[in-house]
Amino acid sequence: MFDKKDLDDKGELPAPFNVEKHNFNPHQVRGDFEYDKNGLPVIKKDSKGNFVDKRGSRVSSRGYRMDSDSNGNIIDNNDRKKFDKNQTTQDGDLPKLFNYNGRRFDIVDTIGQFDKDSKGNIIPLTDQNGNLIDNLGRRVNSRGYLIDEFGNVIDKDGRQLFEN
């Protein structure tokens, strides 16, 4: 896609591509799970001892879809590599991210719980007022992020992370 001469001295992609390279929807890199009473995904192991979701797809111990060749890379629903193993924590989790104000947050604290279709896409529900909700009845936007009544992205404790 880019010639080697177009890369910077660290081998990074040129702007604006380097800024957008990790723009992703966390639902597309998470496995498909049932959830326990504490809201945690039920992650099982297959006969080989690998962590898997309810469809048998390989995941990390933290629930992220992993490539099947045991490289430990995080992949999306289309089996495209989204994060290299070197960018994850030792247990296969994504490091804490930053919002625009520099506040750290865990991406899984901002997403709703959903059933997924056969392609791995979330299936939001609708409340009596026509608002999108997750399986726990929390308001979400069309991408599956938790939101407040103004459409601001919030975490599971109701703290605003991003303005609408």
Find, among 115, 123, 112, 118, the residue nearest to 153 by Cα: 112
Domain boundaries, given as residue ranges, for the chain: 1-93, 96-164
pLDDT confidence of residue 12: 62
pTM, full prediction: 0.81
**Strand ranges in the chain using DSSP code E only, listed in sequence order:** 44-45, 51-52, 74-75, 81-83, 97-98, 104-105, 115-116, 122-123, 125-126, 132-133, 153-154, 160-162
pLDDT confidence of residue 20: 45
* In contact, 152 and 164? CB cutoff 8 Å: yes
Cα three-residue angle 7-72-120, rounded to 5 degrees: 95
pLDDT confidence of residue 72: 87
Q: Give me the residues of the chain with pLDDT under 70, please.
A: 1-23, 70
pLDDT confidence of residue 5: 66
Encoded tokens for 71: 């490289």
pLDDT confidence of residue 131: 97
pLDDT confidence of residue 43: 95
